[in-house]
């Protein structure tokens, strides 16, 4: 299948729809493109599509996103400030730990 045919298949839109539904069901999603390094740009575009759609369709939802290599983590979970960290730091600590666990289970 050529790149032009890939662009028109709607696959990334379906993937984004599925991941957004999973995000609202679980509050956190972690994903990567398993097709190989040449597809890192596709994974980045998918992450951007998800973030853009949430900002457009659910502007009231606060979200956090981080990337580690070719793995993305997005969360809409509510994080509270602690004595040591504000809510943003707590979110990033949580997502970094989630990516670490994800990477361990994929080996």
DSSP labels, the chain: --HHHHHTS-HHHHHHHHHHHHHHHHSEEEEE-TT-GGGHHHHHHHHHHHHHHHHHH-TT---EEEEETTEEEEE-------SS--HHHHHHHHHHHHHHHHHHHH-
User: What is the pTM assigned to this prediction?
Assistant: 0.80
Q: What confidence tens digit (pLDDT) does each residue in 45-75 have?
A: 889 999 999 999 999 999 999 988 888 999 9
Instruction: Please tell me which of 13-17, 24-28, 79-83 the model is most confident about, judged by mean pLDDT.
Output: 24-28
Domain count, the chain: 1
């Amino acid at each position: 299948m050529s790149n032009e045919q890939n662009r028109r298949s709607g696959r990334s839109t379906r993937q984004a729809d599925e991941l957004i539904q999973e995000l609202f069901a679980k509050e956190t999603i972690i994903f990567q493109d398993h097709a190989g390094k040449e597809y890192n740009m596709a994974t980045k575009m998918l992450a951007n599509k998800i973030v853009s759609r949430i900002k457009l369709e659910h502007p009231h939802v606060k979200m956090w996103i981080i990337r580690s290599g070719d793995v993305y983590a997005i969360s809409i979970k509510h994080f509270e400030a602690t004595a040591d960290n504000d809510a943003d730091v707590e979110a990033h600590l949580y997502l970094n730990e989630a990516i670490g666990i994800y990477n361990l289970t994929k080996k």
